[in-house]
Amino acid sequence: MTETYGNVPITGQKGLFENPLGHQNAGPYEALIVGGVWPNQESLVERSLGCFGACLWFRCEGALVWDAYGSLVRSILMMVRRCPSLHTIYVVAQGPSATAGDSTSPSLLRTELNIGVSEDSLNTITYLLEEMFGVDPLQWWGQISDPASAVRNTVRILEEHPLMRPSVAVQGFLFEEMGTRLQRLDG
């Protein structure tokens, strides 16, 4: 007898592509999660959202997407196109209480990026992040100071994308209290 969660069977095979050649119908996914949570919390998030075993995860630190035409958004849009059963995208990030011990300072950024990186390269990276993408290098490399804003921004980028299938709902959540509670974020 197969164990189920709601009407979704829970097996070791759930989530694998039904069509290994990658033709138009890519699988049984009901939801896609753009997630910035620890891997050991994925099943808790899926259970809380009611899509356990029927989700496709896209890893994205802090659930922060800043480029609407970058490779991550392109990959998300391609999966939406290939999975007609996919009806919801959840954007989920660790809330501030779950990341409280994870701090980043300018000196830490310089120390971590300076290992084997020239000053010119570090300056170029900083310039590109700030000027081309409008992203603070500290935010890009380290802890996101406002996870709720990051989630809302990602939701907005996906919802407003002209190539997003109109029938796909995009919702944002924070995983709070050290990974025990999902809080839905509104606009």
Burial bucket for residue 5 (CB in 10 Å: 0-12, 13-18, 19+): middle
pLDDT digits (tens, 9 = 90+) for 99-150: 444 444 455 556 655 567 777 888 888 888 888 878 777 767 766 778 898 8
Specify which residues 171 forms β-bridges with: 90
How many CB atoms are located within 10 Å of the residue 131 CB? 9
pLDDT digits (tens, 9 = 90+) for 51-94: 888 889 998 888 888 889 999 999 999 999 998 889 999 999 98
Lowest mean pLDDT among 27-31, 34-38, 85-89: 27-31
Domain ranges of the chain: 24-101+143-179, 104-142
Helix axes 147-160, 71-82, angle to 10 degrees: 50
pTM over 0.85: no
Query: Residue 172 CA to chain centroid, in angstroms?
Result: 10
CATH architecture of 24-101+143-179: 3-Layer(aba) Sandwich (3.40)
